[in-house]
Amino acid sequence: MAPIVSDIFERARIAVRALVDFGEGLFSPTVRLGVTGLSRAGKTVFITALLHGLVRGGRFPVFTALAQGRIARAYLVPQPDDAVPRFDYENHVQALVNERAWPDSTRRISELRLIIEYQTASGRMRTLTVDIVDYPGEWLLDLPLLTTSYEAWAKESLALSRDGPRRAIAAAWHRELATLNPMAAADEPAVVAAAQHYTEYLRACRDERYALSLLPPGRFLMPGDLAGSPALTFIPLDLPAEGRAAEGSLWAMMRRRYEAYKDVVVRPFFRDHFARLDRQIVLVDVLAALNAGPDAVRDLERALGSILGCFDIGRKTLLSPLFSPRVDRVLFAATKADHMHHSNHDRLEAILARMVERAAEGAKIAGAQADVIALAAVRATREAEVRRGGEVLPAIIGTPAAGEQAGGQTFDGEREIALFPGDLPADPKRVFASGPEGFTGINGGSHDEAAFRFLRFRPPRLTHAMDGTPTLPHIRLDRALEFLIGDRLQ
Ligand SMILES: Nc1nc2c(ncn2[C@@H]2O[C@H](COP(=O)(O)OP(=O)(O)OP(=O)(O)O)[C@@H](O)[C@H]2O)c(=O)[nH]1
Ligand SMILES: [Mg+2]
């Protein structure tokens, strides 16, 4: 009974919050934009580039309100929640623009509020408030835990760890697991050690060679200020098919901590942020998964499926905004498209479309608008044609980050190179398949690292607009903006 009662209670809390949000929205129209994505998907860069483009004026020909000159001003104001730190916009911009450096991995949640003063199509002045939250991508993986019991989670996590490339990575941890008896009395030092080794296994899975995405609990990888607390000290146990968790047993202790983790960490995160969204962009680093091979691609597909299943996506009805906040537009975006020549962007989109097929269909059936694009929030490369033999190949030019390696050389972070990134398969199905019918790599290489890896490029050298402000180049960021908020600026 307990989970059902707590579910009803949780829904009531979400509904009350929605009512407050709805009331505030009557006075000042607000869009809560969810920027969703696993770790390194490109959330922080996307938010920074979007704000920069709006506040400083980017080149956004497809974003109608700006292109038609109807945006009078866009500026940042203090965010609504006093308990949440502010998104470090100024520092991220300064790093991108002046140091040509990407932001660090996000370690905690942060928030920002943007006000857009615009003229409606009929000439009236209005304002639109846009609230955006940034958070560590790892935390997203926790959402599916909300509907999973400890026993089901343990079973699934162990099955996963015995499958594909995870099996070898998990070998040491499996040996340790075999020494733990779920029915025996709980022994704290043994649990702490086992949780540490389990975390090391999760971290190794995330290594870019494997790029595996299904790795909850997310705070094990990015604990924020919860590092070392009991709610973070549990592991999946090899449980017997029959039997109960006796009081005082290791099993009972693990189950209690797992539930505490959901109560203390996952539910508040979901309630305060995800349950309030109006619009959503789901950023996916498809290319990193392609880099690592079909196991990583299938893993990413599963992770996205289980995460997207947690969102309430669908059209608002007259009453629904009061009781059930809903996402009525969702955009799936393959990020870092500047790693491929534009002739491959359609293929990149097609691969992502296939990966999120079920979620996108579900959204449409529920009455929401859904679309898929390939974008680069900050375009780090430009295009050129390179002659190789008698052939002219479409290439990209950029500055590989210091320490990146290719073809036996290590780059210094200053020198530009031209690179032929190769082609994605015309049939998106191939990237999910192993074996002969599978896709063997963008550079035509094998799954060996060197042939297969993308180079990380530094942010671009910037051009300055007429008034001296630098503009960040991008690919289709304006199209994303038009889809996400264009209709609210009519
Ligand atoms: N070339 C290129 N690289 C990008 C772009 N966006 C992100 N990246 C790269 O991807 C990395 C991760 O981007 P972030 O925006 O920090 O990713 P995130 O989703 O915020 O990641 P977490 O904070 O770890 O959850 C960056 O350090 C860049 O190397 C882009 O538009 N173009
Ligand atoms: Mg980030």
Query: Residue 100 pLDDT > 50, yes or no?
Result: yes
Measured in angstroms, how far is the CA atom of residue 336 from the centroid of ligand 2? 14
Q: How confident is the model at residue 449 (pLDDT cuts 50, 70, 90)?
A: very low
pLDDT at 5: 57
Taking the CA of residue 398 as reference, the ligand 1 atom at the shortest distance is 1
Ligand 1 within 6 A of 287 CB?
Answer: no
Ligand 1 within 6 A of 380 CB?
Answer: yes
Of all protein residues, the one whose alpha carbon is nearest to atom 5 of ligand 1 is 336
pLDDT at 324: 54
Q: Tell me the pLDDT of the chain averaged across its residues.
A: 88
In order of 44, 47, 311, 331, the CA distances from 34 in angstroms are: 12, 10, 11, 10
Query: Residue 153 pLDDT > 70, yes or no?
Result: yes
Query: Residue 260 pLDDT > 80, yes or no?
Result: yes
pLDDT at 73: 96
Nearest alpha carbon to residue 340 among 283, 273, 272, 396: 396
Ligand 1 within 6 A of 144 CB?
Answer: no
| DSSP E strand boundaries for 120-164 | 125-134
User: How open is the CA angle 328-479-279, to the nearest 5 degrees?
Assistant: 20
Ligand 1 within 6 A of 376 CB?
Answer: yes
pLDDT at 453: 60
Instruction: Among 67-81, 271-285, 359-373, 438-452, name the one with the lowest average pLDDT.
Output: 438-452
Query: Residue 349 pLDDT > 80, yes or no?
Result: yes
Ligand 1 within 6 A of 396 CB?
Answer: no
Cα separation of 228 and 14, whole Å?
30
Could you tell me which residues come within 8 angstroms of residue 131 by beta carbon, excluding any fewer than 6 positions away? 30, 31, 32, 33, 79, 80, 111, 112, 113, 114
321-330 pLDDT tens trace = 444 557 889 9
Taking the CA of residue 48 as reference, the ligand 1 atom at the shortest distance is 15
Residue showing tokens 């993986």: 141
Average pLDDT over residues 311-333: 69
Average pLDDT over residues 56-85: 92
* Omega before 459 within 30 of 0, i.e. cis: no
pLDDT at 467: 74
More confident residue, 46 or 18: 46
pLDDT at 393: 84
Cα separation of 394 and 385, whole Å?
5
Contact between 302 and 352 under an 8 Å Cβ cutoff? The reply is no
Instruction: Among 146-155, 279-288, 399-408, name the one with the lowest average pLDDT.
Output: 399-408
Ligand 1 within 6 A of 458 CB?
Answer: no
The number of the ligand nearest the C-alpha atom of 140 reads 1
**Which of 43, 45, 284, 382 best tests ligand 1's pocket when mutated (most atoms within 8 Å of CB)?**
45
In order of 217, 268, 292, 402, the CA distances from 453 in angstroms are: 28, 38, 8, 15
Cα separation of 438 and 440, whole Å?
6
Cα separation of 294 and 447, whole Å?
10
Ligand 1 within 6 A of 336 CB?
Answer: yes
pLDDT at 174: 94
Contact between 307 and 140 under an 8 Å Cβ cutoff? The reply is yes
Measured in angstroms, how far is the CA atom of residue 153 from the centroid of ligand 2? 27
